[in-house]
Structure 1
Amino acid sequence: MVLVMAITTSGCLSQQKDKEVIYVQTITLTSTAFEEGGTIPLQHTCDGEDISPSLSWEGIPHGTRSLALIMDDPDAPAGTWVHWVIYNIPGDRAGLPEGVPAEESLADGTLQGTNDFRRIGYGGPCPPRGPPHRYYFKLYALDTALDLPAGASKAELERAMDGHIIGRGELMGRYGRQ
């Protein structure tokens, strides 16, 4: 009887070890271009200059080695559309300036991936005519720099981040065309 209980107990302990609980800290993500839930200005869309908005963040967790950001539109007719994939942003950065160049590698080591327009860097909101779409800027604090080449897709970035996310922030803006 004691032997059976010991085997059962050790099985429970190993299952709990396998199901490691990871706590993710909330990061505050803001932009000087628009407020949470507000309209993304024309200059940051395909109808304007198509330049990235400035972004700022606070509350980066201790131990952050790098940051990653994904911008996407879940309201796109064919499913979620990826507008920006940017990663290996140094962990001590407090934001991104307006108009990040559409280059694979930036001077500080930040890398940019391929968006669903099949281009490197930021591709602004460009919805079909109709109701406004929601655009989510999702920032991730990571406990490592990612071993991922420039030009990665959103799916590749998400796989590389798996198990390394220690903080997360989100900002949503809207844009529509009549």
Structure 2
Amino acid sequence: MENEEFRLVSPAIDKDGRLPRKYTAEGQGALKNLSPPLEWYNLPEGTKSLALVVQDIDAPDPSGPIVPWTIWVVANIPPTLKGLPEGFSGKEEEVGGDYANIKEGHTDWKVPGWRGPKLPSHCHRFEFKLYALDDMMHLGNKVTKERLLELIEGHVLGEAC
């Protein structure tokens, strides 16, 4: 199993990498803040926790160039889990068990949890990046992408997109 690649997949995202409308905040069929299901495979040996950052990498900045827009930050996912179910965001305490210690961070909307992107066009690309870590992260009360990326430096065993 050592030569098998650490992978992140979502059965909900189509083969062209488009995010289905129900996971966005735009148009008929949108369910606003419904997070998509995710699955991962072949965790690196020694993984003690996982962290996830999801960004719209084609988000326009009204005053300048395209800059990634953070849609979801999740930390301290136990390596015993094989994925996150659809609609998980905001329900980690309800779900309980292995999900109870997962911490959702603040997005670029300044609120925690999945926030369905508002798409001015449907050609946006989304980056889902999962980090396998050699430790649990002690994040404090307010987790952001920047804080998470700073804390995981030196602890990343592998990355999956």
What does 1:10-159 correspond to in 2, within 5 Å? 26-47=5-26, 48-50=30-32, 51-78=34-61, 79-102=67-90, 107=96, 108-128=100-120, 130=121, 132-159=123-150
8 A Cα contact 1:103 1:121, kept in partner: no
Unaligned runs of 5+ in 1: 1-24, 171-178
Report deviation, 1:91. Answer: 1.4
8 A Cα contact 2:73 2:145, kept in partner: yes
Question: How many residues were matched structurally?
Answer: 145
- The verdict on how the C-alpha distance between 1:131 and 1:45 changes in structure 2, with shifts beyond 3 A counting, is closer
**Secondary structure of 2:45 counterpart:** coil
Task: List, as ranges, runs of 4+ consecutive aligned residues in structure 1 with deviation greater than 4 Å.
Answer: 103-106
- The verdict on how the C-alpha distance between 1:150 and 1:105 changes in structure 2, with shifts beyond 3 A counting, is farther
- 1:27-86 deviation digits (Å, cap 9, x = unpaired): 211111114533211111112113010000001011100000000012111211000000
Instruction: Tell me how far apart the structure 1 counterparts of residues 136 and 154 of structure 2 sit (CA, whole Å).
Output: 13
Unaligned runs of 5+ in 2: 62-66
Instruction: Tell me how far apart the structure 2 counterparts of residues 27 and 58 of structure 1 sit (CA, whole Å).
Output: 6
Amino acid at match of 1:149: G
- 1:85-114 deviation digits (Å, cap 9, x = unpaired): 000000121100000132686732000100
Instruction: Tell me how far apart the structure 1 counterparts of residues 92 and 140 of structure 2 sit (CA, whole Å).
Output: 9
Amino acid at match of 1:70: V
8 A Cα contact 2:54 2:71, kept in partner: yes
More helix by share: 1
Instruction: Tell me how far apart the structure 2 counterparts of residues 133 and 116 of structure 1 sit (CA, whole Å).
Output: 17
Instruction: Tell me how far apart the structure 2 counterparts of residues 34 and 57 of structure 1 sit (CA, whole Å).
Output: 14
Instruction: Tell me how far apart the structure 2 counterparts of residues 81 and 54 of structure 1 sit (CA, whole Å).
Output: 20
**Identity value in percent:** 37
